[in-house]
């Protein structure tokens, strides 16, 4: 029977550490600010933005929210980003994705100054992650690494399988596992023998966006199973990429959905924002 990896508990611990550090920095008269930009009224995006605002309050950061209408043009959004780039109150800039279809996400990501790119999506920051010389890590993969560390299972030398190859989760996830000396396989829609590859994994990270995609035959006995998915099942109930109930007895450790990776993503965003403030003020 698996042990549940409690993302809420781990994120609370991370945020408490950040809160203490932020309080010390405040004693030097330094305020830490995060700007969050949301375009349109996507309900899921609104939930995420509210969670980020709440996390800022918890750790003692100032939150600046910019809510723009759906019809905002790409040039208008870039103008706002450039204004925030030059705003000394703002240590981190986050533009909530997805953006409306008429706006090029890459153009917006590229417009954010790399030292304020607390999502770590800018090509410059991606390059630093690739070579292992980074200030920021993408929030979801960084959160996953914290959850794996919480189990006490060493990544070094383990067979690690990542299902999914997105720029936001799959690719950087593989890189972070590689930096910890895991032997990493990335699987995707065209992978042959997917179930067999997954079944050999000591650490399995599912980030494919398909409800209950990972079934017990894909899980090695005693494996660490991390579910990055946020899906809806056939009854409209929130679930992940892993068939949690079916895989529970086979896994050694498993994350629930909700309450697993989700809270960690926000905690890591707070950590990146703190890091940005420390670098700007030469506190590192």
* Catalytic annotation, residues: 52, 96, 119
How confident is the prediction for the chain on average, in pLDDT?
96
Would you state the pLDDT for residue 251?
A: 98
Does the pLDDT at position 227 exceed 80?
A: yes
Given a cut of 90, whether residue 84 has pLDDT beyond it is yes
Q: Is it the case that residue 236 has pLDDT exceeding 90?
A: no
Mean predicted confidence (pLDDT) in 29-34: 97
Least Cα distance to 9 among 271, 255, 180 occurs for 255
Predicted confidence at residue 187, as pLDDT, reads 97
The residues near 235 (Cβ < 8 Å, ≥ 6 apart) are none
pLDDT score at 16: 98
Smallest CA-to-CA distance from 155 within 130, 173, 171, 170 is with: 173
Q: What is the pLDDT of residue 42?
A: 87
Whole-number percent of the chain with pLDDT over 70? 100
Mean pLDDT, rounded, for 163-169: 95
pLDDT value of position 144: 98
List the one residue out of 91, 94, 104 whose CA is nearest residue 45.
94
Residue 233: per-residue pLDDT: 87
Domains of the chain by start residue, with CATH: 28-113 (3.40.50.10860), 139-262 (3.40.50.720)
Q: What is the mean pLDDT of residues 92-108?
A: 97
pLDDT at 235: 87
pLDDT at 284 over 80: no
Q: What is the dihedral of CA 272, 275, 276, 282, to 10 degrees?
A: 180
Task: Say what the pLDDT of residue 234 is.
Answer: 87
């Amino acid at each position: 029977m698996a042990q549940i990896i409690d993302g809420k508990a781990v994120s609370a611990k991370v945020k408490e550490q950040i809160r203490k550090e932020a309080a010390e920095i405040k004693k030097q008269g330094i305020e830490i600010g995060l700007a969050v930009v949301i375009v349109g009224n996507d309900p899921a995006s609104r939930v995420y933005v509210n969670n980020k605002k709440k996390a800022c309050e918890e750790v003692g950061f100032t939150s600046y929210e910019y809510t723009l209408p759906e019809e905002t043009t790409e040039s208008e959004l870039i103008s706002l980003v450039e204004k925030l780039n030059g705003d000394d109150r703002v240590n981190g800039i986050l533009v909530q994705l997805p953006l409306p279809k008429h706006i090029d996400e890459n153009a917006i990501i590229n417009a954010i100054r790399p030292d304020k790119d607390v999502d770590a999506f800018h090509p410059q920051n991606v390059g630093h992650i690739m070579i292992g010389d980074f200030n920021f890590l993408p929030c979801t993969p960084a959160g996953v690494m914290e959850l794996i560390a919480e189990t006490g299972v060493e990544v070094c030398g383990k067979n690690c399988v990542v299902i999914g190859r997105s720029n936001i989760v799959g690719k950087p996830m593989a890189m972070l596992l590689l930096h910890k000396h895991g032997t990493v396989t990335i699987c995707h829609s065209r992978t042959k023998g997917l179930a067999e590859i997954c079944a050999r994994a000591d650490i399995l990270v599912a980030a494919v966006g398909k409800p209950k995609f990972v079934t017990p035959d894909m899980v090695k006995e005693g494996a660490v199973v991390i579910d990055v998915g946020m899906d809806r099942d056939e009854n409209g109930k929130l679930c992940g990429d892993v068939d949690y109930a079916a895989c529970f007895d086979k896994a050694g450790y498993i994350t629930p959905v909700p309450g697993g990776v989700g809270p960690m993503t926000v905690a890591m965003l707070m950590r990146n924002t703190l890091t940005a403030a420390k670098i700007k003020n030469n506190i590192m």
